[in-house]
Amino acid sequence: MKRNLALVVFCLGWTTSCGDSLSADRPAAAAKMVAEAETELLALANQASQAQWIAATYITQDTEAISAALTEKAIQAGVKYAKLAATYDGVNVPADVARKLKLLKNGLVVAAPSDPKLSAELTKLTSGMEAHYGRAKYCPMPSTCQDIGQVSKVIAESHDPAKLLETWKGWHDTAQPIRADYVKYVALANQGARELGFKDSGAMWRSKYDMEPDAFAKEVDRLWEQVKPLYVSLHAYVRNKLRAKYGDKVVPASGPIPAHLLGNMWAQSWDNLYPLLAPPNADPGYDLSKILAGRKATAEEMTRMGERMYLSLGFSPLPKTFWERSMLTKPRDREVVCHASAWDVDNVDDLRIKMCIEPTGEDLFTIHHELGHSYYQRAYNQQPFLFRDSANDGFHEAIGDTVQLSMTPDYLVKIGLLTKTPPESADVGVLMKRALEKVAFLPFGLMIDQWRWKVFSGEVKPEQMNAAWWELRRKYQGVAEPVARSESDFDAGAKYHVPASVPYTRYFLAHLLQFQFHRALAEKAGCKQPLYRCSVYQNKEAGQAFAAMLAQGASRPWPETLKLLTGKSEIDASAVVEYFAPLKKWLDEQNAGQPSGW
């Protein structure tokens, strides 16, 4: 085996006559290589997942080192097979083999350089940056250090501009130490990507979407233009309300909104501001967090609520090991990464979620999101290993959020959290609260990778990283830094997904796909109400259609998988516009005569 693989690589450096002499055997060799890749990559992925789980739930130097070593092995194998897959370009192979070759070439998030020392350095950098985020604390005084959960609570609940600014700055300053590491990471990741034939890591990330990287960038722009008018209306309304509360000296009449005032550390969702922004006479008559706290709902009870939603659609119960191995609450005896995530440790049925659950409405929704990953992972676990993934990464993030859209007031009544459905007069308020989460997120979901693509390509130089970050936030979000920042800062690194090397465009796509999926499921369920009132809870027909799409995994190009459920082969943001149409009309009435845009 090693001899044959070496021959293939050796031939790359010479003329095509070397490959031509083996042309008769090339299809069989490609199939054999793919089979070997699936076997080896599955084993290494499982080992790395176990180590990464321990590193995330028992943060120590030792667990970090073990995770880095096993992750490096998996990355090196991925790079090896990505390069081998490229040697079969143009070879006539069966469709499933061709698909697997493409996934091998495009399957890496971080491509390690072939030099073992550089590969080890890159892996150490990525593991170290993520661990730094997990350990980071803002310490206004030595005895009062606060982790991300605690500072997020301050940002969500305080209405003191000075306190908000102090906390915002304190958390963002925690990322300064990894700025130099990120510059090194970019250089090494780009080197690995170029060895695979990509211009840079950003082009490699965009190549995963079954279209040319530049074409995908244009597709993202098209989708943003579909929803931008809705966001601009919401932004203008929020700015006017914040200005009325904090005054002209804190919030301008026009222009960007200061980032620390929006109820979220990164201003990526604004739903914590709902009490301030709620339309008159639109009180739904309940506070889900107060209901859960009043019932003293435990983390497991809340997770079981999420499971029952999926069971009502016809999905099977979670495995016993899920309840034994998941981390649902924050341990008292050690540091952990509390950022919510779903894990498929053995790529079959060792499903877990990692959260530090609190009895809040936000966490109940997050549980439904994370379980969406789990049920997707289970749905495609009969596929060959290389197809055990989502149609594209936006699909994976959209599944649980699609289910969230069925968590309507009617649903909450059915599961016993509410005693009655709120009146229709509350509809605009319900839509407002959801828009502050879903619509407010859209430009943030777009701009993080816009920034990284520019950093990877060199358009943004290392000495311009922080300035470029805020330039893009102003451009897309209409949000500005609340205090002067410099290039000694690394504000992008204060967001988990940047030091953890998690591509972010998936979340932008997911926030569009979930509405498209929801509309398709509502139609299959025969819902005749406005889209925002539709819930597919307990509808097996909708669940069956959903499961059929999930079972495809990555076995076919995502437009084909999308068409199975929606009847369309392109992402369509018109479902977002339809869902929020009553709110858009109301917002435009409120904004009449006021500045719009920034």
Domain that holds residue 450: 142-176+212-284+434-494
Catalytic-labelled residue, pool 133, 375, 507, 537: 507
pLDDT score, position 19: 40
Indicate if 370 belongs to the active site: yes
Confidence of residue 281 (pLDDT cuts 50, 70, 90): confident
Q: Which of 477, 494, 511 is the last residue of a domain?
A: 494
Catalytic-labelled residue, pool 172, 235, 369, 396: 369
**Angle subtended at Cα 218 by Cα 214 and Cα 223, rounded to the nearest 5 degrees:** 145
pLDDT score, position 211: 92
DSSP 256: P
Please report whether residue 220 resides in a domain: yes
Averaged over 392-420, what is the pLDDT? 95
Please report whether residue 332 resides in a domain: no
Confidence of residue 220 (pLDDT cuts 50, 70, 90): very high
DSSP 88: T
**What is the per-residue DSSP string for 30-63?**
HHHHHHHHHHHHHHHHHHHHHHHHHHHHS--HHH
Pairwise pLDDT comparison (10 vs 545), residue with the higher score: 545
Residues 205, 111: Cα–Cα separation, whole Å: 10
Query: pLDDT at residue 8 above 80?
Result: no
pLDDT digits (tens, 9 = 90+) for 357-386: 999 998 999 999 999 999 999 999 999 999
Residues 461 and 438 in one domain: yes
Please report whether residue 320 resides in a domain: no
Please report whether residue 587 resides in a domain: no
Query: pLDDT at residue 20 above 70?
Result: no
Residues 104 and 229 in one domain: no
Please report whether residue 154 resides in a domain: yes
Please report whether residue 266 resides in a domain: yes
**Residue (of 491, 478, 527, 57) closest to 265 by Cα position:** 491
Residues 87 and 172 in one domain: no
Catalytic-labelled residue, pool 120, 187, 340, 467: 340
Reported for 208-211, long-range contacts at CB under 8 A and 24+ positions apart, including other chains, are 208/106, 208/107, 208/392, 208/393, 209/392, 209/558, 210/392, 210/557, 210/558, 210/559
pLDDT score, position 141: 85
- The burial class, CB within 10 Å (0-12 / 13-18 / 19+), for 218 is exposed
Six-digit token string for 87: 């040697």
Residues 55, 495: Cα–Cα separation, whole Å: 19
Confidence of residue 422 (pLDDT cuts 50, 70, 90): confident
pLDDT score, position 268: 96
Average pLDDT, the chain: 92
Residues 451 and 487 in one domain: yes
Confidence of residue 23 (pLDDT cuts 50, 70, 90): low
Residue spans of beta strands (DSSP E) within 243-350? 257-258, 341-344
pLDDT score, position 24: 56
Pairwise pLDDT comparison (282 vs 590), residue with the higher score: 590
- The burial class, CB within 10 Å (0-12 / 13-18 / 19+), for 28 is exposed
**Angle subtended at Cα 155 by Cα 57 and Cα 369, rounded to the nearest 5 degrees:** 50
Residues 170 and 190 in one domain: no
Residues 66, 69: Cα–Cα separation, whole Å: 5
Indicate if 132 belongs to the active site: no
**What is the per-residue DSSP string for 324-344?**
HH-B-S--SSS----S-EEEE
Query: pLDDT at residue 5 above 60?
Result: no
pLDDT score, position 505: 95
Residues 157 and 193 in one domain: no
pLDDT score, position 84: 93
pLDDT digits (tens, 9 = 90+) for 101-147: 999 988 889 988 989 999 999 989 998 999 999 899 999 888 889 99
pLDDT digits (tens, 9 = 90+) for 455-464: 999 999 999 9
% pLDDT > 70, the chain: 96
Catalytic-labelled residue, pool 172, 235, 260, 339: 339
Indicate if 369 belongs to the active site: yes
CB atoms within 10 A of CB 465: 22
Residues 217 and 167 in one domain: yes
Catalytic-labelled residue, pool 172, 235, 260, 373: 373
Six-digit token string for 571: 């992402």
| β-bridge pairing 341-344 and 257-258 | unpaired
| β-bridge pairing 351-354 and 341-344 | antiparallel
pLDDT score, position 107: 83
Please report whether residue 533 resides in a domain: no
Residue spans of beta strands (DSSP E) within 174-217? none
Residues 37 and 166 in one domain: no
Q: Which of 475, 494, 513 is the last residue of a domain?
A: 494
Query: pLDDT at residue 349 above 90?
Result: yes
Indicate if 339 belongs to the active site: yes
The total number of structural domains in the chain stands at 2
Indicate if 324 belongs to the active site: no
Confidence of residue 483 (pLDDT cuts 50, 70, 90): very high
Residues 36 and 119 in one domain: yes
Indicate if 368 belongs to the active site: no
- The burial class, CB within 10 Å (0-12 / 13-18 / 19+), for 21 is exposed
Query: pLDDT at residue 515 above 70?
Result: yes
Residues 262 and 152 in one domain: yes
Confidence of residue 15 (pLDDT cuts 50, 70, 90): very low
